[in-house]
A and B are shown apart, each in its own frame.
Chain A
Amino acid sequence: MRIRRTQRAAEGVAGYLFLLPFLLWLLIFFAYAFVRSVYFSFTDYNLFQPPVWTGLANYLALFREPLFLTALRNSLAFALVVTPAQTLLAFLLALVLNQKLRGILAFRSAYYMPSVTSSIVITLIFIWLYQRQGAINYLLTLGRAYGHLVLAGLALLVLFQLAQVLLERRRGLPAGWTDPVLGLSSLFLAVGAVAALVAAGVLPLARPADPVSIIWLNTTDRFPQGPISAPIPLIAIMLMNIWTTAPTFMLLYLAGLQDVPRELYEAAAVDGAKPWQQVVHITWPQLRPVTFLVLTLGLIGTLQMFDQVAIIGDQAPLQSTITLAYYVYHNAFPPGAIPRLGMASAAAVVLAVLTLCVVWLQRRVLRY
């Protein structure tokens, strides 16, 4: 009995010794910091004078301040657009990558490239791409000039495919509507037909059009016009973020796809389920836990979006890009003004509460 107790005490001592560095770090740089931030949020504090208790004044002031409300709206819009979009894209990418084909690993590495690159590199590159005479506007210009050829090609592709499948079925072969061999030959036929139409002068090669010169960053305009809209610079950041984060979540989906029992697909195939039906009725429901995880991580990540706003900086108007996280920083270190740490902390607490709500919601939903 005595020995047992000393042994347990020894284990306790050992445990705390092992834990000591981490525990110190956690206490100073997390627990203390968290409590102090909450405390600051109820005070008036500017770094130079000691904090003065003001109760809920900061929170009341926050929800009357237009910049904070803009930041809150931007953050919510950002989270609500980016999260579903990147989740869907991640799912589709995982489906495409989940093939047993030679060289598929190389493709996976390629797709993951944006996710390992730092936010500053990606954002700098995108600021450049988003310039008025940048590559994105150039691609849109190309689309405006040659888009009609692509549309005509697609229409012809569908027509040729229809005709070929019907022909093949008349010959008694079990060709599906998306038959790959016929698809390829329809594609070649469509490309040839478009080329012939252009050569014959029926379709113009390039439609004369002015170059697209959308101002992506330095604008206060919103899109689309109407009650539900977002600032164009924020949309630019949204597109960029979807592009960078989708590959991260794609990996989670790929891992999840391994756990889907193969028998389900075999059974569905025997019952004559089409590939898309298998995706809708087997893959998607089976991956529900992964989807919840991806949505939660996505919401948490998007709510905290900071780097992109800071890096774009004065290339875009502040109210068009500001998010909650940036609002906090902006109030703590305002350029050429007195720090408002009380307001910053209050906004940070709002951000924390939002994040915790998301986590709580996920727990609730997962319990069912």
Chain B
Amino acid sequence: MKMADMPTIPRGSATGRRSKVSADLPRPIRPGAGAAYAETIQPDPRWIARRRWARAGIIYTLLLACSLLFVGPLLFALLSSLKDNPSEWPPRLDPPQLNPANWAAAWQLGRQGGGNGWFGQFAPGRSVSFEVRYLVPPGAAAVPPQVQVPRRVPGAGAGAVRLGPFAADVAEVSPPQEVSRQPLARGTVVTYRFRIRNAGTVAVDRLPLDVSVPAGQVFQGATLWPSRQERQGRVQSWNNVTAGLIPYVFNNYVRVFRENYSRSTGQNLFLAWIRNSFLLATVRVLTTLVFAAMAGYALARLRFPGRNAVFFTLLFSMMIPSQVLFISNYLVLRDGIWGLAQIWGQQTLLNSFTGYLLSSVVTASGVFIMKQFFESLPASLEEAARIDGAGYIQVFTRVILPLARPALGALTILTFQGTWNEFFWPLVVLTAPQDRFTLTVGLLSFRRTYGVAFDWGPLLAGAIISALPVIILYLVFQRYFVEGISFTGTKG
């Protein structure tokens, strides 16, 4: 099935109206028909064309509205994953992280702190110049703000476990100097400048900042827009002034990678999960391709006793929920497949990639797809090869496999997506240690570490990162996705 040439059928109304009009053809055309004519006249082509255009416009609007429904939540999550507080109320669609002025400021501040523009830091001996602007109401006296570098952890949950040096220990803040005054009708906008210097001997990756003013003065702006404002706007708070561009815009993404380390091995957990998911998906794709193609070929083309019984069992297995099978499969892996795993020195196959891969070395639906595909191939080609004296294996590798490319493509995509997204079986089999998780199980542990503290930023960032590979794969290989669905869908 080619989705590229979509059917043109129910163009309902347009077709319908046109044929109705042509049925009216014998009637005389009455140009300039006024209100006096009650019966139907032949509309001119422009009248009809206008209706076609309007109809297309309405359909596009409808399509756009539906897109908003289906992509909206994902896009909104993507947008909010950049925010300092993704749960802000009311939710805004213009986080400061998307403002180019803030990008430039983050770049500059990152360089001033001794890092490069992309990734900043706060290095010994470096000092950062920072400006804040406040509106002082008429009659009130302008009081310079109080500036403080707080001892603050990057966030809740895993972010609260911080061992490294704190900027508060090394930072020296110069007293804020007034640099300009701009009178307005509502009051005076006063700009203050201060410098923060690293007087210590260690570089710090984060420089948090709190600036507070007396009640009445209204925050107008700063070199970098604050991460949050507290106490009715009297305190402006920055998570990291010298972040540099990438940690500023993708703060939650950086946190996902920086905050999650294995307690036993010190390995970066999130990277490990991504690697595990890629590894398992890749190996599983390879084994599934080989074994499903072999089995599918045998079931489709070769005749041997018991073939129907095997096929019936295959169909039956596709209907049985995995919850029925997992208890026994769990025990089989626990015992190392009746001790067979001891051959290569494993007592148990639980929490082992070998175990996971052995238990999902091929899928019933994969075999089914390949069988259906091989049955749709003409038999003449392999018969010719057989007459030329080729053996079964030769026919399979030289003739059949090259022809099976579309089905193998669909199977590759389906298996990769299936493994990448798989949740239940990894949850049962890969439970410890944490760096043995797949990305899906890892994200579940994120819900426990961050979700409890309502620290939604890293959770959303992790979710988006884990969704990206499959979405990219989908956008590139759409055709295979669609074919895969129609293959499995029509199993009936």
Q: What CA separation (Å) do A18 and B302 show in the bound complex? A: 9
CB distance from A118 to the nearest CB of B (A): 3
- List B residues 41-59 near A (Cβ within 8 Å): 41, 43, 47, 50-51, 54-59
Q: Scoring A residues 1 to 41 as 1 if CB is less than 8 Å from chain B, else 0, what string do you get?
A: 00000001011111110110111011011111110110010
The answer to whether A131 has its CB under 8 Å from any CB of chain B is yes
Q: Which residue, of A93, A125, A344, has the highest number of chain B Cβ atoms within 10 A?
A: A125
Closest residue of chain B to A18 (Cβ to Cβ) is B298
Q: Which residue, of B9, B74, B367, B428, has the highest number of chain A Cβ atoms within 10 A?
A: B9
Question: Given A116-B481, A124-B460, A341-B327, A98 and B6 touching (CB < 8 A)?
Answer: yes
Closest residue of chain A to B21 (Cβ to Cβ) is A174
B37 pairs with A171, CB closer than 8 A = yes
A180 pairs with B58, CB closer than 8 A = yes
Q: What CA separation (Å) do A257 and B317 show in the bound complex? A: 30
The answer to whether B185 has its CB under 8 Å from any CB of chain A is no
Q: What CA separation (Å) do A105 and B71 show in the bound complex? A: 15
A96 pairs with B327, CB closer than 8 A = no
B16 pairs with A273, CB closer than 8 A = yes
Question: Given A12-B305, A128-B77, A257 and B7 touching (CB < 8 A)?
Answer: yes
B13 pairs with A243, CB closer than 8 A = no
- List A residues 69-102 near B (Cβ within 8 Å): 93, 95-101
Q: What CA separation (Å) do A93 and B471 show in the bound complex? A: 21
A30 pairs with B364, CB closer than 8 A = yes
The DSSP consensus for interface residues of chain B is: helix
A37 pairs with B58, CB closer than 8 A = no
Closest residue of chain B to A257 (Cβ to Cβ) is B7
B10 pairs with A275, CB closer than 8 A = yes
CB distance from B198 to the nearest CB of A (A): 37
Closest residue of chain B to A258 (Cβ to Cβ) is B7
Segment among A154-162, A190-198, A227-235, A247-255 that sits at the interface with chain B: A247-255
B489 pairs with A293, CB closer than 8 A = yes
Which listed residue, A21, A112, A133, A171, touches B361 by the CB 8 Å rule? A21
Q: Scoring A residues 143 to 182 as 1 if CB is less than 8 Å from chain B, else 0, what string do you get?
A: 0000000000000000000000000001111101011110
Which listed residue, B16, B310, B319, touches A26 by the CB 8 Å rule? B310
Chain A: number of interface residues, binned into ranges: 35 or more
B74 pairs with A124, CB closer than 8 A = no
Interface residues of B, count at CB 8 A: 131
CB distance from B94 to the nearest CB of A (A): 15
Q: What CA separation (Å) do A97 and B9 show in the bound complex? A: 11
- List B residues 309-331 near A (Cβ within 8 Å): 310, 313-314, 317, 319-331
Across the interface, which residues of B come within 8 angstroms of A99, CB to CB?
A: 11, 59
Across the interface, which residues of A come within 8 angstroms of B24, CB to CB?
A: 174
CB distance from A63 to the nearest CB of B (A): 18
A329 pairs with B481, CB closer than 8 A = no
The answer to whether B344 has its CB under 8 Å from any CB of chain A is no
- List B residues 298-356 near A (Cβ within 8 Å): 298-299, 302-305, 307, 310, 313-314, 317, 319-332, 337
Question: Given A19-B294, A29-B325, A98 and B10 touching (CB < 8 A)?
Answer: yes
CB distance from A271 to the nearest CB of B (A): 9
Across the interface, which residues of A come within 8 angstroms of B63, CB to CB?
A: 96-97, 104, 107
Which listed residue, A105, A110, A181, A341, touches B70 by the CB 8 Å rule? A110
B332 pairs with A348, CB closer than 8 A = no
Q: Scoring B residues 1 to 16 as 1 if CB is less than 8 Å from chain A, else 0, what string do you get?
A: 1011011111111011
- List A residues 272-299 near B (Cβ within 8 Å): 272-276, 278-279, 282-283, 293, 297
A352 pairs with B71, CB closer than 8 A = no
The answer to whether A313 has its CB under 8 Å from any CB of chain B is yes
Q: Scoring B residues 464 to 492 as 1 if CB is less than 8 Å from chain A, else 0, what string do you get?
A: 10110011001100100110011001101
CB distance from B56 to the nearest CB of A (A): 6
A174 pairs with B11, CB closer than 8 A = no
Across the interface, which residues of B come within 8 angstroms of A59, CB to CB?
A: none
Q: What CA separation (Å) do A170 and B39 show in the bound complex? A: 8
CB distance from A141 to the nearest CB of B (A): 8
Which listed residue, A8, A28, A124, A274, touches B447 by the CB 8 Å rule? A124
The answer to whether B459 has its CB under 8 Å from any CB of chain A is yes
Question: Given A121-B463, A171-B37, A22 and B304 touching (CB < 8 A)?
Answer: no
The answer to whether A303 has its CB under 8 Å from any CB of chain B is yes
Question: Given A26-B314, A34-B320, A355-B320, A173 and B74 touching (CB < 8 A)?
Answer: no
Segment among B129-137, B224-232, B377-385, B419-427 that sits at the interface with chain A: B419-427
Q: What CA separation (Å) do A33 and B317 show in the bound complex? A: 11
Across the interface, which residues of B come within 8 angstroms of A352, CB to CB?
A: 320-321, 324
CB distance from A312 to the nearest CB of B (A): 9
The answer to whether A203 has its CB under 8 Å from any CB of chain B is no
The answer to whether B268 has its CB under 8 Å from any CB of chain A is no
A124 pairs with B70, CB closer than 8 A = no
The answer to whether A356 has its CB under 8 Å from any CB of chain B is yes
B443 pairs with A120, CB closer than 8 A = yes
Q: What CA separation (Å) do A366 and B492 show in the bound complex? A: 10
Across the interface, which residues of B come within 8 angstroms of A101, CB to CB?
A: 56, 59-60
Q: What CA separation (Å) do A137 and B145 show in the bound complex? A: 37
Q: Scoring A residues 308 to 325 as 1 if CB is less than 8 Å from chain B, else 0, what string do you get?
A: 001101010000000011
Question: Given A125-B74, A172-B38, A135 and B327 touching (CB < 8 A)?
Answer: no
The answer to whether B20 has its CB under 8 Å from any CB of chain A is yes
Question: Given A34-B325, A170-B38, A174-B40, A117 and B470 touching (CB < 8 A)?
Answer: yes
Q: Which residue, of B20, B323, B448, has the highest number of chain A Cβ atoms within 10 A?
A: B323
CB distance from B357 to the nearest CB of A (A): 11
B364 pairs with A26, CB closer than 8 A = yes
Segment among B82-90, B153-161, B237-245, B404-412 that sits at the interface with chain A: B82-90
The answer to whether B263 has its CB under 8 Å from any CB of chain A is no
Across the interface, which residues of B come within 8 angstroms of A276, CB to CB?
A: 12
Which listed residue, A98, A116, A257, touches B471 by the CB 8 Å rule? A116
B17 pairs with A118, CB closer than 8 A = no
Which listed residue, B55, B67, B447, B470, touches A118 by the CB 8 Å rule? B470
Across the interface, which residues of B come within 8 angstroms of A93, CB to CB?
A: 66
A258 pairs with B298, CB closer than 8 A = no
Known: A23-B295, A269-B20, A351-B323. 6 other contacts (CB 8 A): A16-B304, A172-B38, A180-B51, A243-B70, A269-B15, A351-B324
Q: Which 3 A-B pairs rank lowest in CB-CB distance, beginning with the nearest?
A: A275-B12, A118-B421, A22-B295
27 CB contacts below 8 A, A to B, read: A15-B303, A19-B295, A26-B364, A30-B325, A36-B328, A36-B331, A37-B325, A98-B6, A98-B7, A98-B9, A101-B56, A104-B6, A107-B67, A112-B481, A113-B474, A117-B467, A125-B460, A173-B33, A180-B55, A243-B70, A251-B489, A252-B485, A252-B489, A274-B13, A306-B424, A341-B327, A351-B321
| Chain B positions near chain A (C-beta within 8 angstroms) | 1, 3-4, 6-13, 15-17, 19-21, 23-24, 30, 33-35, 37-41, 43, 47, 50-51, 54-60, 62-63, 66-67, 69-71, 73-74, 76-77, 80, 86-87, 89-91, 290-292, 294-295, 297-299, 302-305, 307, 310, 313-314, 317, 319-332, 337, 359, 361-362, 364, 367, 392-393, 396, 417, 420-421, 423-424, 427-428, 440, 443-444, 446-448, 451, 454, 456, 459-460, 462-464, 466-467, 470-471, 474-475, 478, 481-482, 485-486, 489-490, 492
| Chain A positions near chain B (C-beta within 8 angstroms) | 8, 10-16, 18-19, 21-23, 25-26, 28-34, 36-37, 40, 47, 93, 95-101, 104-105, 107-114, 116-121, 124-129, 131, 133-135, 138, 170-174, 176, 178-181, 183-184, 211, 243, 247-248, 251-252, 254-255, 257-258, 260, 262, 265-266, 269-270, 272-276, 278-279, 282-283, 293, 297, 300, 303-304, 306-307, 310-311, 313, 315, 324-325, 328-329, 332-333, 341, 344-345, 348-349, 351-352, 355-356, 359, 366
